[in-house]
Amino acid sequence: MPIYEYACSDCGKEFEALVRSGTTPECPECHSQSLEKKLSVFAAAGTGGGHSHSHAGPCGSCGHPNGPGSCALN
């Protein structure tokens, strides 16, 4: 049974949900169904679109697309 990761478009809550065919998950915080469906938790280990820490990007150290200093927030 697949587990998907969602981000609520209304409140920004991120959560994981088991999704069976015919069912629609909703945000556990605000019960909105305006959700951004992400890949499985296994494929979504990184955020920001980076596929590898070895990728040379604007940050110069981690390749974070938002520019220098963005990775320091983690």
List contacts with Zn ion (CB under 5 A): 8, 10-11, 13, 27, 29-30, 32
Q: In the bound complex, what is the minimum distance in angstroms from residue 43's beta carbon to Zn ion?
A: 23
Q: How far apart are CA 52 and CA 48, in angstroms?
A: 11
Helix (H, G, I), strand (E, B) or coil at 73: helix
Q: How far apart are CA 34 and CA 26, in angstroms?
A: 8
What is the distance, to the nearest Å, from the Cα of residue 34 to the centroid of all Cα atoms in its chain?
A: 15
Considering the complex, state which of residue 8 and residue 62 has its C-beta at the smaller distance from Zn ion.
8
Q: In the bound complex, what is the minimum distance in angstroms from residue 24's beta carbon to Zn ion?
A: 14
Q: In the bound complex, what is the minimum distance in angstroms from residue 13's beta carbon to Zn ion?
A: 4
